[in-house]
Amino acid sequence: MFSLEGITNFIHEWLNSHLSAIFALLAEFVLVGVAAIGLFAFLGLVLVWMERKVAAVMQLRLGPNRLGPKGIFQTSADTLKLIMKEALTPDNADKLLFNLAPFVVIIVAMLILAPISFAKNFQIWDINIGVLYVTAISSLSVIGVLMAGWSSGNKYSLLGAMRSGAQIVSYELSAGLSILTIIVLTGSLKISDIVASQENGWWIFKGHIPAIIAFVIFIIASTAETNRAPFDLAEAESELTAGFHTEYGGMKFALFFLAEYINIFIVCAIGATLFLGGWMPFHIGHWVAFNHIMDYIPSSFWFFGKTGFLIFLIMWFRWTFPRLRIDQLLNLEWKYLLPISMFNLLLMSVMAIMGWYF
């Protein structure tokens, strides 16, 4: 049976039998870095293509359909074009910050990858405060966005960056509270513990209505945190041209673009881990035979399937809903999502104490 765990164990043993312990560790660091960059490139190419296809079909169009079967190589060609373009720095930009910002954004995206569990025992770093780490690091990405907007020396960019700052700061609250709702049930911040606690059913089923409310709030908040429509005020291409990355071109723009899709993948992976059981197959209570059949599907398939479903959901939102105004955006967060998620957390705590969940 296919499993990523077997591959990593084989590499680990092979390196340790041929190299000394320190060099084996260093070689593993390099391999993990290469794998992460490879995953980024793959996700960038596939998710952009998927987005364009989903958008096209929902708008009764065909989307990219010339380069390769169903236009699958279109994004590779676009990347090639972006690589060959000139990386321009505007005259009145703050040169250092302007050139640093895309890398800050992409490095933040790369850091959040560390505690995510892609398959059974396939994880870069199983830190015991995994979920806290993710929420802490993901709020850093706003610094890159503010950096880009401020240093461009362009009022549209600055407006976009400020909007993005207000948005991420407010929506982090309800995202954090909805994550806490599940943490109350698991009693652990460690990703592997959270996944293991869903062995007899995913939290979205086991946690009744509060878990479903938390899931909905989490999806809304993470859509806002990744600056995607209907919350794409930071870009708002019709009012701000492109918001904080107006002045960027070529590969520096591509890094922002890539970071957007990486962030989508990451929030969806977190959502899948917390609410849909991560790599855990679909198990129902004590149905031993059924659970056994489900176990035959490799855990990495489960993880990527769930994450892919959530990514599709977020794309579905983007191509259905109109963009919110800034006051509507903040109203939604402070008047609706935050009170509801606080009440929801209280309800979930009561449920956890009384043991009213499966």
Interacting residues with other proteins (CB under 8 A): 54, 57-62, 65, 316-317, 319-321, 336
Shortest reach from residue 230's CB to other proteins, in Å:
9
3 state SS of 119: strand
Q: Which is nearest to 243 in space by CA: 261, 231, 220?
A: 231
Strands 117-119 and 122-123: antiparallel
Shortest spacing between CB 22 and other proteins, in angstroms? 52
Chain-centre distance for alpha carbon 38: 16
Nearer to other proteins (CB atom), residue 149 or residue 230: 230
Least distance from C-beta 57 to other proteins, angstroms?
A: 5
| In the complex, least distance from residue 63 CB atom to other proteins, rounded to whole angstroms | 9
Contacts of 5 (CB under 8 A, 6+ apart): 119, 120, 121, 122
The CB-of-317 to other proteins minimum distance in angstroms stands at 8
Listing DSSP states for 201-214 in one string gives S-HHHHTHHHHHHH
Given the complex with other proteins, which of 73 and 317 has the nearer CB atom?
317
Instruction: Give the number of C-alpha atoms closer than 13 A to the C-alpha of residue 73, restricted to the C-beta side.
Output: 6
> Based on CB atoms, which residue is closest to other proteins, 130 or 230?
230
Helices H / strands E in the chain, number of each: 16, 2
Rounded to the nearest whole angstrom, what is the least distance from the CB of residue 309 to other proteins in the complex? 13
| Residue among 120, 283, 291, 296 nearest 201 (CA) | 283
Side-chain half-sphere exposure of 234, counting CA atoms within 13 A: 25
Please, what is the minimum distance in Å from the beta carbon of residue 240 to other proteins? Answer: 24
Residue type, 154: N
Cβ(278)–Cβ(272) below 8 Å: yes
Alpha carbon distance, N-terminus to C-terminus of the chain:
31
Q: Which is nearer to other proteins, 29 or 336 (CB)?
A: 336
Cβ(277)–Cβ(195) below 8 Å: yes
- What's at 280, amino acid-wise? M
Q: Report in angstroms how near the CB of residue 5 gets to other proteins at its nearest.
A: 35
Closest C-alpha among 147, 251, 267 to residue 219: 267
Min dist. Cβ of residue 350 to other proteins (A)? 20
What distance in Å separates the CA atoms of residue 310 and residue 315, rounded to the nearest whole number? 9
| Of residues 7 and 57, the one with the C-beta less far from other proteins | 57
Tokens of 250: 């070529």
Chain position carrying tokens 């850091």: 111
